[in-house]
């Protein structure tokens, strides 16, 4: 990693030093397209990601304020009402590959704008609901689909805009989730008190519409028509069957299904799935566990708030720390996840020992490390699958890791019911993190100080388009369109070394 980094600046910064004269050459344009985006444009995208994560995940987390209202209006059980958010979250995660496939096929700007419109439409239609299934369809499916078209493409866009500061950018962008849960809780209560749940859903729909300007900030790419079929490439000559087959091939390529056979990607996804299984358990069970251990409601809630604040700080700090480049991202990720597991295991032991300050301390540590790992999880993807397949990889990763998120909390709830206390469930959650860290060490080239060579896409066919897709997220009109293959490879390799 050190040697590669030393070479890089000398090679790349040359064009930047004399921008006027060198700008016109194709090589400089290629590198310019990747490097210069570390600048103002990229940070604008970070701001857009901040707003989007606020309006997607911050909103989802704060929907609990509607719970009581729905129970009273529809006179349904708590379980039936909680299906609304479950459907929404599940749709968002399962449709992530669809979002990234649409980005590969069409313009990211349009996809995100459409997603924002869909999410807000779902909430607006939900305000007219007269029955619970109506809410499942609107707040659950429609908004969930909209959110899936927004979140992963925004993350992919931010990652494409940064090279050296990628993790920090992601960390800053993701702080939106934490900040908004502090802001939305009182805000939602206020609008619920004044407008009831119908008016509140309408206003939330309007708020969600703010995703559309964030999407508009993404510079549109001028996607060229697919290149003419090369010899030996897609066989487009005549006939409906081969047109269908070429459509299937395009779908296969857009969804990056080739990644399902990619060993390192599957290893990484398995580790992230374990992290996801353990991630939400402390949020759900910690307050109840503290109450059970005898602490007052106020003290337990304070531990949670402190954890949330540490989470926000952890995201930014870990992002900055990773981009210093002292250690490889994958090593730092292992460190953060291992620490998270350790803190989760220690938390119930602290409350059993009866020390509130220890519990608070471990809670802060857990919050910090949990936030830290969220910044790194996505930033580690290009190192494993390469810049060209990054977009699809993000979608597939989101979808597959959701399995952990769906199974984890019910499993810990089951453990709690069986044993009668939260200690077992929290310890198991901590072990999920430790197990995931171990799985990470199984990645290729793990035990080396320098980063591995960037992975090559599986076949030469469509290589240009995939690199177009990766570079096309940058939105500059000349990226990838006028350059020869040599300069494209240089672009490809330098952006892989996160």
Partner 1 sequence: MLHPGVKLCAQLLLLSLSWGGTHSTGGPGSTLPPVVCGPPLSSDVRSVVFKGESQVEEVQVVRPLTLALECTWTGSQDRPHNISGFWRKDGSELADSRRPVLLENQQYNLRQAFSITDEEGLGNYSCVFDNQAEVDFILAAPRVGEVRDRPIVSYVGDSVVLQCKMEDTKPRPNSWTWYRANGTNKELLDPEPDSPRYHIHNQEGKTKLTVRNLTEADSGAYYCGAVYDIGVTLSRVDLRVITFLEPLKPFLVIVGEVLVLVSLILLYERTKAHGTHPGTDNIWNPRPPGTPDHLGPRPPGTQTTWDPDHLGPRPPGTQTTWDPRPPGTPDHLGLRPPETQTTWDPDHREPQTTWDPDHLPPGTPDHLGPQTTWDPDHLGPRVLDLSEGYTHTTWDPDHLGPQTTWDPRPPGTQTTWDPDHLGPQTTWDPDHL
In the complex, the residues that contact partner 1 under the rule CB under 8 A are 23-24, 29, 72-73, 75, 192-196, 198-200, 202-203, 205-207, 209-210, 212-213, 216-217, 219-220, 477-478, 482
Shortest Å, Cβ 187 to partner 1: 12
Instruction: Kindly tell me which of 210 and 242 has the beta carbon lying closer to partner 1.
Output: 210
Cβ–Cβ < 8 Å for 388, 335: no
Instruction: Kindly tell me which of 70 and 268 has the beta carbon lying closer to partner 1.
Output: 70
Shortest Å, Cβ 199 to partner 1: 3
319-344 burial, b for 16+ CB within 10 Å, e for fewer?
bebbbeeeebbbbbbbbbbbbbbbbb
Instruction: Kindly tell me which of 73 and 182 has the beta carbon lying closer to partner 1.
Output: 73
Instruction: Kindly tell me which of 205 and 365 has the beta carbon lying closer to partner 1.
Output: 205
Shortest Å, Cβ 460 to partner 1: 27
| Distance between CA atoms of residues 146 and 122, nearest Å | 8
Instruction: Kindly tell me which of 157 and 276 has the beta carbon lying closer to partner 1.
Output: 157
Instruction: Kindly tell me which of 73 and 83 has the beta carbon lying closer to partner 1.
Output: 73
Q: Which among 390, 393, 428 is positioned nearest to 409, based on CA atoms?
A: 428
Cα-Cα-Cα-Cα dihedral sign, residues 13, 19, 21, 27: positive
Dihedral, CA of residue 108, residue 113, residue 115 and residue 120, to nearest 10: 170
Shortest Å, Cβ 91 to partner 1: 23
Q: Which among 58, 6, 3, 8 is positioned nearest to 38, based on CA atoms?
A: 8
DSSP 52-91: HHIIIIIHHHHGGGGHHHHHHHH---HHHHHHHHHHHHHH
| Distance between CA atoms of residues 401 and 94, nearest Å | 9
| Distance between CA atoms of residues 429 and 123, nearest Å | 33
Instruction: Kindly tell me which of 478 and 485 has the beta carbon lying closer to partner 1.
Output: 478
How far from the centroid of its chain's Cα atoms is residue 15's Cα?
33
Cβ–Cβ < 8 Å for 429, 282: yes
Instruction: Kindly tell me which of 216 and 349 has the beta carbon lying closer to partner 1.
Output: 216
Shortest Å, Cβ 295 to partner 1: 24
Instruction: Kindly tell me which of 340 and 476 has the beta carbon lying closer to partner 1.
Output: 476
Shortest Å, Cβ 75 to partner 1: 6
Return the half-sphere exposure (C-beta side, CA atoms, 13 A cut-off) of residue 103. Answer: 43
Shortest Å, Cβ 475 to partner 1: 9
The DSSP call for residue 38 is G
How far from the centroid of its chain's Cα atoms is residue 426's Cα?
24
| Distance between CA atoms of residues 392 and 466, nearest Å | 10
Shortest Å, Cβ 208 to partner 1: 10
Please name the residues in contact with 222: beta carbons below 8 A apart, sequence gap of 6 or more: 477, 481
Shortest Å, Cβ 248 to partner 1: 33
């Amino acid at each position: 990693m050190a040697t590669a980094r030393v070479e890089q600046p000398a090679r790349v910064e040359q064009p930047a030093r004399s921008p006027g004269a060198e700008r016109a050459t194709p090589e400089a344009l290629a590198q310019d397209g990747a490097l210069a985006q570390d600048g103002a444009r990229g940070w604008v995208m970070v701001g857009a990601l901040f707003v989007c994560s606020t309006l997607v995940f911050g909103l989802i987390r704060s929907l609990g304020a509607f719970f009581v209202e729905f129970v009273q209006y529809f006179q349904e059980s708590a379980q039936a009402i909680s299906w609304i958010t479950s459907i929404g979250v599940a749709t968002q995660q399962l449709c992530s590959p669809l979002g990234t496939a649409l980005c590969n096929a069409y313009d990211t700007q349009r996809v995100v704008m459409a997603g924002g419109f869909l999410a807000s439409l779902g909430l607006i239609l939900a305000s007219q609901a007269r029955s619970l299934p109506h809410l499942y369809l609107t707040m659950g499916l429609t908004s969930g689909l909209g959110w899936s078209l927004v979140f992963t493409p925004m993350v992919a866009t931010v990652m494409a805009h940064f090279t050296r500061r990628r993790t920090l950018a992601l960390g800053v962008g993701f702080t939106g989730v934490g900040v908004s849960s502090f802001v939305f809780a009182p805000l939602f209560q206020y609008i619920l008190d004044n407008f009831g749940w119908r008016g509140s859903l309408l206003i939330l729909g309007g708020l969600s519409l703010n995703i559309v300007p964030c999407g508009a900030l993404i510079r549109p790419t001028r996607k060229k028509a697919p290149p003419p079929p090369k010899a030996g490439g897609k066989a487009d000559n005549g006939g409906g069957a081969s047109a269908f087959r070429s459509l299937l091939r395009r779908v296969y390529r857009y969804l990056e299904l080739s990644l399902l056979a990619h060993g390192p990607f599957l290893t990484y996804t398995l580790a992230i799935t374990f992290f996801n299984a353990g991630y939400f358990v402390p949020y759900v069970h910690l307050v109840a566990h503290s109450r059970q251990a005898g602490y007052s409601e106020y003290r337990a809630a304070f531990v949670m708030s402190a954890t949330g604040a540490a989470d926000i700080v952890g995201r930014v700090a870990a992002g900055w720390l990773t981009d210093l480049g002292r250690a490889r991202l994958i090593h730092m990720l292992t460190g953060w996840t291992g620490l998270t597991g350790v803190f989760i295991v220690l938390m119930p032991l602290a409350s059993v020992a009866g020390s509130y300050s220890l519990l608070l301390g471990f809670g802060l540590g857990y919050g910090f490390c949990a936030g830290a790992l969220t910044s790194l999880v996505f930033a580690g993807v290009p190192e494993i699958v390469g810049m060209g397949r990054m977009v699809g990889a993000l979608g597939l990763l989101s979808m597959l890791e959701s399995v952990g998120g769906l199974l984890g909390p019910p499993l810990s709830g089951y453990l709690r019911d069986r044993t009668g206390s939260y200690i077992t469930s929290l310890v198991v959650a901590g072990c999920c993190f430790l197990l995931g860290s171990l799985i990470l060490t199984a990645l290729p080239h793990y035990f080396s100080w320098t980063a591995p060579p960037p992975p090559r896409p599986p076949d030469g066919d469509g290589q240009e388009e995939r690199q177009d897709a990766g570079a096309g997220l940058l939105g500059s009109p000349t990226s990838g369109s006028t350059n020869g293959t040599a300069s494209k490879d240089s672009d490809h390799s330098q952006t892989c070394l996160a």
